[in-house]
Amino acid sequence: MEKERLFGKTLDELKAVAAQVGLPKFAAKQMADWLYKKDIRSIDEMTNLSVKGREALKEYYEFGLTEPTKVQASIDGTKKYLFPTDHAKFIETAMIPDDDRKTVCVSSQVGCKMGCLFCMTGKQGFQGHLTAGEIVNQIRSIEENGEVSNIVYMGMGEPFDNLDNVLKSIEILTDDWGYAMSPKRITVSTIGIIPGMKKFLETSNAHLAVSLHSPFDEERKQLMPIQTAYPVQKVLDEIKSWEFGRQRRVSFEYIMFGGLNDTPAHAKELARILNGIKCRINLIRFHPIPDTPLKSSNEETLQSFKDLLNSKGILTTIRASRGQDIYAACGLLSTKALVKKEEEPDY
C-alpha cells in the first residue's frame, strides 16, 4: 500500500491523522512542529511522540519530503532546482539571490493549460496539479531552506487553476503552527482567473500580481487565450473592489514585446485602465522561446515606456532578468523533455 505524506498537511488534517492512528489530540500540534519548524526528515525523529504512536503512524504515513535531483547555477547566482513529482513528472524551482534577499520562485503545476503564446511552460501543455506538500517542499528541500526571505508563485503553472492546493500551501507557510511567515513576503502571480483570485483575496493576505501584457482586448486575446473567458476589464473591476496599499500590494506584470505592445499608445491606455488602483507595474524583458516571432523591446523603448507610466503617476520598474543562461528566467521553466512521451497531451 502506498503511504500518504504527512508533509503538506494542515493542522486540521493532522488532527484527523492523530485520531486515525490513536495518538492524543495534542500530537497534531507536535507533528506540525516537527514537519514545519524543525530540520528532521523522518517520523522516527519525532521523539516527543510515543514509540507506539510513531509505529502506528508509519503504518499509513511517511514524512514526505522529496530531494531535488538536479541543481544548476547561473553566473548571476540564480539557481534552478529540478524536483521529481508523482507519476514520473518533474517541476523546476528557481532561487534568486539579491543583496540580503533570497527569493524562491515556486511552481504550482506540472506544465500549464493556459496556452499563453510567449511561455515555455505553456508550450509544455498541462500534466498535473501539485499538492500543497509538493509546493512547500520546493522551499523546504533546497539548500537555502531557512534563509528564504520571499516566495513568489511565478514558476510553472497558473496558481488559481490549482486553487485549493495553492491556498493550503499559503496556510502552511503563514500560519503560526506552520512556517509562521508574514504574508507580506509572499506574492502570487495570475493571468486573472477571477473566481480563484476572489477566493485568494478573501482567504489570504499575500500580495497579488496580475499578468497584463496588453491593455487592448484583441491584442491580449492573441497573446493570452484567457482574455476570452476573463477579460482584463472584469479582472480590474474585481481588483477595484478590494483595498490595496502598504499592507497588501497589487502589481501588474507587463512583458515588453518589441513592435507589438510597447508604443506610447499602450502606455497611455494602461495608465487609463489602471486609474484608481494603488499599484505598481513591473516591466519584464521578453525571454525568447523557440519558434516564436515575438521579440523583446529594446532598452531605449523599455526606458521611455517606464518614464511615460511614471509621469502618469503609476510607479513602474523594470524587472532584472535573472538566470537566463540556465533557463531559469521568467517563463522559461519547462520540463517537457523529461515527461514520458506517452503522457504528453496533443497540442
Ligand X SMILES: C[S@@+](CC[C@H](N)C(=O)[O-])C[C@H]1O[C@@H](n2cnc3c(N)ncnc32)[C@H](O)[C@@H]1O
Site of interaction with ligand X (CB under 6 A) = 118-119, 121, 154, 158, 189-191, 211, 253, 255, 284, 286-287, 289, 330-331
Residue whose beta carbon is closest to ligand SF4: 122
Query: Which of ligand X, ligand SF4, none has residue 166 at its interface (CB below 5 to 8 Å by kind)?
Result: none
Exposure string for 40-51, b = 16+ CB within 10 A, e = fewer: eeebeebeebee
Q: Which residue, 102, 91, 43, 87, is CA-closest to 68?
A: 91
In the stretch 166-195, what mask flags binding to ligand SF4 with x, by CB under 6 A?
-------------------------x----
Question: Least CB distance from residue 320 to ligand X, whole Å?
Answer: 12
Residue 84 is placed in which grid cell? 521529481
Is 266 annotated as ligand-binding?
no
Cell numbers found for residue 111? 506544465
Catalytic residue among 2, 67, 92, 343: 92
Q: What is the chain's length?
A: 347
Nearest approach in angstroms of CB 32 to ligand SF4 is 31
Among 28, 49, 104, 112, binds ligand SF4 (CB under 6 A): 112
β 4-5/186-190 pair status = unpaired
116 binding ligand SF4? (CB under 6 A): yes
Distance CA 75, CA 77 (A): 6
Query: How far is the C-alpha of 19 from the C-alpha of 186, rounded, in Å?
Result: 33
Least Cβ distance, residue 336 to ligand X (angstroms): 14
**Shorter beta-carbon distance to ligand X: residue 323 or 331:** 331
Pick what 91 binds: ligand X, ligand SF4, none; C-beta below 5 to 8 Å, kind-dependent.
Answer: none
Identity of the residue, 73 or 117, whose beta carbon is nearer to ligand SF4 in the bound complex: 117
Closest separation in Å from C-beta 13 to ligand X: 26
Q: Which of 45, 143, 330, 343 is catalytic?
A: 330
212 is in an annotated binding site: yes
Measured in Å, how far apart are the chain's first and last C-alpha atoms?
35
User: Please, which residue, 64 or 122, has the CB nearer to ligand SF4?
Assistant: 122
Least distance in Å: CB of 102 to ligand SF4? 22
330 catalytic residue (yes or no): yes
Residue of 44, 48, 74, 39 lying closest to 62 (CA atoms): 44
Is position 211 annotated in a ligand binding site?
yes
CB 339 within 8 A of CB 110: yes
- Listing DSSP states for 206-248 in one string gives -EEEEE---SSHHHHHHH-THHHHS-HHHHHHHHHTS--SSSS
Q: Minimal distance in Å, beta carbon 31 to ligand X? A: 32
Show contacts of 259-266: CB within 8 Å, 24+ apart.
259/295, 259/297, 260/219, 260/294, 261/213, 261/214, 261/219, 261/223, 262/297, 262/301, 262/302, 262/305, 264/304, 264/305, 264/308, 266/214, 266/215, 266/216, 266/305
- The residues facing 207 across adjacent strands are 187
Find, among 333, 274, 288, the residue nearest to 152 by Cα. Answer: 333
Interacting positions 298-337 with ligand SF4 (CB under 6 A): 331
The DSSP letter of residue 329 is: S
Active site residue 299: no
The binding track of 122-161 with respect to ligand SF4, each residue x by CB under 6 A or -, is x----------------------------------xx---
Footprint on this chain of ligand SF4 (rule: CB under 6 A): 112, 114, 116, 119, 121-122, 157-158, 191, 331
**Which residues are annotated as catalytic?**
92, 330
Bind-site residues for S-adenosyl-L-methionine: 157-158, 189, 211-213, 287
